Amino acid sequence: MKRSCGVLLPIASLPSPNGIGTLGKAAYAFIDFLKKAGQSWWQILPVGPTSYGDSPYQSLSTYAGNPYLIDLEMLEEDGLLKPSEYKNIDWGSDPARIDYEALYRSRFSVLKIAADRGWKRDEIAVSAFIEANQGWLRDYALFMALKRHFSMKPWYDWDEDIRLRKPEAVARYTKLLEDDIRLFIYIQYLFFTQWDLFRDYAHEQGIGIIGDLPIYVAMDSADVWAEPEMFLLDSQNQPIEVAGVPPDYFNEDGQLWGNPLYDWDAMRKNGFGWWIRRVDGARRLYDVLRIDHFRAFESYWAVPYGEPTAKIGRWVKGPGMDLIGVLTSWFYDMQFIAEDLGMLTPDVHKLLKDSGLPGMKVLEFAFDSREPSKYLPHAYEPECVCYAGTHDNAPLMAWKDEANPDDIAFAEKYLGLNKTEGFHWGILRGGLSSVANLFIAQLQDYLGLGAEARINTPGIPSGNWQWRLKPGQIPSGLAKKMEELAYIYGRTERVKPAPTV
């Protein structure tokens, strides 16, 4: 990866009059902003359909797109909606927060109007879309139709015959729920149609998309329901052990994620075909893929199903280079980033080295005043990605107020921070000037926002994933200032004007 920089911002956090950021005008405007700011990358969070808790890391499908991100104004321009059918709906009262309840209450009824108008009109294009995505689309559409049929209960609470996917039950429900199946197929057609236009425009402007691949999939997902043999489930398709991380300095109970664990023996037997298909689906969306919780490929924390916390568990060996080697050789033309954060051991460090993937360095973790840190910029090698902070961290100005005062004092001394420059700008300078080939910062950090703009607080079950950028919140001179810094530190090139004749 060449020396460059980018901005981390969830698509859902873009401004929009319809409750949530979408693939519409604001997304294109942000691409234009990134280009003017000398950035090469837009890093986003997973864009799959979300469920209870609204986390993009607990998606109903590892392949599908989030219906909420479909832009309604573009559907109007395409003749699929009338203004009166969506502009007078209450999508939430606070332009700085996403109201997921309001979205859930009304978004699908609006998308159904579009689907009813478009299904026949787009019949040929939809048929081609179904053919191109037959590996997952029909299972997902049936899964979603069944969730509606069973009052949105998780699939493991459905009637036994369809919970266990008995063939006669699948056939019966496929016929019974034909209309809803068609709806969810068409919604995915709309999402990927808009996504392709969005991604093509980004590429035209020289902007690549960095996406995130959660290490685990949600228990209540089409992925687990459709292929339970790939997971550690019992004869009734209930988990045997679930995912999490053990207690640490930050959380005495650990973090109980609850995702089902993979049956790595079963996956090895078919050459990790499940993972190959999964990454191929991600390549359909992204240019660079950040692999979440990379350390679990070496060893992962397995918690007995039913435990109330992650205190009780065991370390289990992961697939290691057996899987990583398959993915990097199969997708030789795709770039990966290893999210190598958390409790790391010499074996994890060895796996990262053997993989050849760039790891992550987070500046908010660098300034522990008690001991030297590998995240300090002077310790970097070029083949890494430096982050000011990730979506799981506080914005820099909130970190300044919340962190240990001794750590902040160390950061100020190390980077020469001062009031004239501004605390957040000094941290950003430290990352941009480092030898790391890629530097990423949250947009909130360039804006100097505080705790109100935090995306996620790990271990806190509610109030996350809601922050939105308000219309006009990006100052007119910000792109120029960002471009100047990117140019000074060799992360962008300036196009010379053509000579006059």
SS3 for 184?
A: helix
- The closest alpha carbon to 142, from 109, 177, 112, 99, belongs to 177
- Report d(CA 140, CA 131) in Å as an integer: 14
Residues 23 and 194: beta-carbon distance below 8 Å: yes
Options 227, 263, 280, 392, the catalytic residue: 392
* Long-range Cβ pairs for the range 100-108 (8 Å, 24+): 100/50, 100/54, 100/466, 102/19, 103/19, 103/20, 103/68, 107/19, 107/67, 107/68, 108/67
Options 339, 364, 445, 483, the catalytic residue: 339
Half-sphere exposure of 108 (CA within 13 A, CB side): 13
Beta bridge partners of 210: 43, 288
- Report d(CA 429, CA 432) in Å as an integer: 5
**Catalytic residue status for 99:** no
Residues 168 and 46: beta-carbon distance below 8 Å: no
In the block, tokens 């100052």 appear at: 475
Options 292, 307, 368, 412, the catalytic residue: 292
**Tokens read off for 140:** 């997902």
Residues 260 and 305: beta-carbon distance below 8 Å: no
Residue 401, judged by CB atoms within 10 A of its CB (0-12, 13-18, 19+), counts as exposed
Length of the chain: 501
Residues 6 or more apart whose CB falls under 8 angstroms from that of 368 comprise 407, 410
**Catalytic residue status for 212:** no
**Catalytic residue status for 392:** yes
Active site residues per annotation = 292, 339, 392
